[in-house]
Amino acid sequence: MIVDCHTHWAQCFADRDGLDPAGWFRVPQQYGVTHAVMLPFTGLLHAGRIAQDNTDIAAVAKASHGRVLPFCTLNTWYRDEAISELTRCLDDLGCRGIKFHPWLQGQSVSTAVMDEICEVAADRGVPILFHDGTPPFSLPSQMAILAKRHPSVTIILGHCGMLEHWREAIEAMNSTENLWGCLCSPHPAAIRQLVRRCDASRLLWGSDYGFSFADMVGYRMEMLGAADISDELQNRLLAENPKRLFQL
Amino acid sequence: MNGEHMIIDCYCTIGDERETVQTSERLLQQMRASGVSRAVIAPQDREIAVRNRDGNDRMLSIASDHPAELVPACTANPWFGNDAVNEMQRSVRAGAKMLVLAPAVQGFMLSDDLTDDLLNEAGKIRLPVYVHTGPQSHSAPSQLALVAQKHQNTRFIMGHCGSTDHAWDMPSILHLKLPNLWFETSFVRPWVVTNYAAIAGDDRLIFGSSSPRNDLRMELTHLKKHWPVAEHPATYGQTLGDLLSEVIHDR
């Protein structure tokens, strides 16, 4: 089993394949990826398309026979609509988590609505994955403070601080037990440090594949390989940790 | 050599601490295994921030042991004022061929006029100025574009093209077609390089690996898949070679 914990479903795939994930999966399959956390893309760009994007990703997941784990997104500027959409995604669509891209969506993580969403996520046992690594809305420390306010929720740093904020991600994860990290974007030297200094049972791997046809899976897989971490540890990141998190 | 085309790596670090632990022997081994003929070597972060002279002397010494393969860069923290200008001039007289600025490490806002004297002097001696850019609020690609417009006689190399999230800004910056601004590819997603080149031209792009933060072989292998060396020799060495060859060392 290999789980890619950071992928997207972009409009280019829907235009080409409808809601059939077979074509989308061709690239990940080349690298042995068996399961993928699928995050929205169109819904991150256009608040008016959030509901449709959530619906589409759930349909793609359904057609994948369990290989795709669908995540939904929400517009926290409108509290009632956000909570209603979250309920629909969890109850009717079977979404396995929630995704926010705070700077792209223009949503702060430090709002009462985000707190309310965290309470629902805690109650339903689903994780929240955030884009991170970029100010002003997407710093690992901001996610850590949110996670400390909601210790029952699993919050995932979608990029472990990326190229510049990975040291901050280490501090954030080490100070916050319910904060996980997805190794998707830090360079190999940073990956080495993250794996060495963080709780390896809370680390995942992801490629960011799926917002275009580009083969990001091979690139990110090689980046992980270039970090020279043991096979046993790689297996934890690629398989055991996501298996435990998503009860696969 | 890669066929008939020389590959020059625009940015490597030789150091002994944090994430830039790499000996010159290790770098040379990686270069030879990857077909890279020359590499510009830069000081490590502590030297970039505060121990400028120590780092510059170390690069000059290492490069003097391997003059055909390693090209020394120097650094100077603009907060040192005239001392920074003097240190840059001293290093260039001793053989340095590129100035490295890292606003996030050195603690200044890229568009701050604190850098004016240093950048003006770099322009006079035709010293390329490599600037690390990224998602920090004080070294964004847009800021470097403004600085390049202000210092038109100074040549700038935009390290990392703001990777990753400032990739959104890059098309508009490339469209400016500033004659004194080049774009280095380390950490740029390899399949995006073709888009950048379509706007700016392959002679505005410069290959760099950021080894040892990054893996030289991996970075080069992926870039070559999307941007073959034989078709784009300017990106892989010609342009940088020209810039490095025009530095005035005896002013």
**pLDDT digits over B52-80, tens only?**
999 999 999 999 999 999 999 999 999 99
Domain assignment of residue B131, yes or no: yes
Residue range(s) defining the domain that contains residue B70: 8-245
CB-based contact A8:A40 (threshold 8 Å): yes
Partner-chain residue, chosen from A135, A187, A216, that has the shortest CB–CB distance to B213: A187
* Test the A interface: residue of B20, B215, B220, B227 with most A CBs within 10 Å: B215
Domain CATH for B174: 3.20.20.140
**pLDDT digits over A97-132, tens only?**
999 999 999 999 999 999 999 999 999 999 999 999
Domain assignment of residue B145, yes or no: yes
Tell whether the model's pLDDT for residue B4 goes beyond 80.
no
Work out the pLDDT band at B137, boundaries 50, 70, 90. confident
Tell whether the model's pLDDT for residue B3 goes beyond 60.
no
**pLDDT digits over A153-210, tens only?**
999 999 999 999 999 999 999 999 999 999 999 999 999 999 999 999 999 999 999 9
Per-residue pLDDT at A183: 98
Tell whether the model's pLDDT for residue B140 goes beyond 60.
yes
A-chain CB neighbours of B160 within 8 Å are 163
CB contact under 8 A, A134 and B135: yes
Task: Provide the mean pLDDT of chain A.
Answer: 97
- Give B 65-104 residues with CB within 8 A of chain A: 104
A-chain CB neighbours of B222 within 8 Å are 219, 222
Domain assignment of residue B2, yes or no: no
Tell whether the model's pLDDT for residue B180 goes beyond 70.
yes
* Test the B interface: residue of A45, A187, A224 with most B CBs within 10 Å: A187
Per-residue pLDDT at B208: 98
Q: What ipTM does this complex have?
A: 0.84
B-chain CB neighbours of A164 within 8 Å are 104, 134-136
Closest residue in A to B210 (Cα) is A187
Domain assignment of residue B50, yes or no: yes
| Residue B51 to residue B42: CA distance in whole angstroms | 13
Place of tokens 């002279």: B53
Query: How many domains does chain B divide into?
Result: 1
Per-residue pLDDT at A177: 97
Per-residue pLDDT at B138: 86
Q: Name the minimum distance, in Å, from the CA of B248 to any CA of chain A.
A: 34
Domain assignment of residue B1, yes or no: no
Tell whether the model's pLDDT for residue B8 goes beyond 50.
yes
A-chain CB neighbours of B104 within 8 Å are 164
The two structure tokens encoding residue A142? 């901001």
- Give A 132-191 residues with CB within 8 A of chain B: 133-136, 162-165, 185, 187-190
Burial of A116 (0-12, 13-18, 19+ CB in 10 A): middle
Domain assignment of residue B3, yes or no: no
Mean pLDDT (whole number) for A9-24:
96
Per-residue pLDDT at B37: 98
List, in order of start, the domains of chain A with CATH numbers.
Answer: 3-246 (3.20.20.140)
Per-residue pLDDT at B2: 47
Domain assignment of residue B207, yes or no: yes
Per-residue pLDDT at A55: 98
What are residue B25's phi and psi, to 5 degrees? -65, -45
Mean pLDDT (whole number) for A4-10:
97
Work out the pLDDT band at B126, boundaries 50, 70, 90. very high
The two structure tokens encoding residue B155? 């040549």
Mean pLDDT (whole number) for B105-109:
96
Tell whether the model's pLDDT for residue B1 goes beyond 50.
no
Domain assignment of residue B107, yes or no: yes
Per-residue pLDDT at B71: 98
